[in-house]
Amino acid sequence: MPAITPISVDQVGPPAFDVTFNPQQIVGALATYLDISGGIPLGYPKLSASLNRPTKSVKNTRVRIRMELPTLTGEPATLSHSNFADITYTFDEKSTLVERQTVNDMFMLILSNATLESMIFDQENLY
């Protein structure tokens, strides 16, 4: 089991900036992180990660990763809006490591597809 450690993402943006999500707490299966470098708690980028294992009634493992990126405006700073990404992986209890790696690798490549990038960045529908 991996220990909870900071998660760094370099040069995101524009404009380019670095983010370091620092561990805050673990409650049950949910680990939460904040990037407190901005100095304004209302605007801290947030990350959470959880893993739910199979039970007698649910035969899948579910991994959920959620990120929130708030946008502040004005003086004093107020929350203008937040944008989110919420990814859930669902793996059968019989899945192998190679299968889980393949799902993750394919998903990361799919996200970089020009068609899907257009949906995400330009909010264009498929036709």
Compute mean pLDDT per 10 residues along the chain, 127 residues long, and list them: 86 82 94 92 94 91 96 93 96 96 95 90 88
- Give the residue numbers spanning the domain of 109: 96-127
pLDDT at position 13, please?
A: 75
pLDDT at position 38, please?
A: 85
Q: Examine residue 49 and state whether it is found in any structural domain, yes or no.
A: yes
Examine the domain organization and report whether 86 and 103 are in the same domain: no
Examine the domain organization and report whether 51 and 20 are in the same domain: yes
CATH of the domain at 90: 3.30.380.10
Rg (CA), the chain: 17
Contact yes or no for 83/109 (Cβ under 8 A):
no
pLDDT at position 35, please?
A: 94
Examine the domain organization and report whether 124 and 74 are in the same domain: no
CA distance 2 to 24: 16
Examine the domain organization and report whether 45 and 17 are in the same domain: yes
- Fill in the amino acid letter for 103: V
Q: Examine residue 54 and state whether it is found in any structural domain, yes or no.
A: yes
Q: Examine residue 22 and state whether it is found in any structural domain, yes or no.
A: yes
- Global pTM reads 0.86
Examine the domain organization and report whether 83 and 21 are in the same domain: yes
Examine the domain organization and report whether 81 and 119 are in the same domain: no
- What is the phi/psi pair of residue 35, to 5°? -100, 105
Q: Examine residue 76 and state whether it is found in any structural domain, yes or no.
A: yes
pLDDT at position 78, please?
A: 93
The tally of domains found in the chain comes to: 2
pLDDT at position 3, please?
A: 83
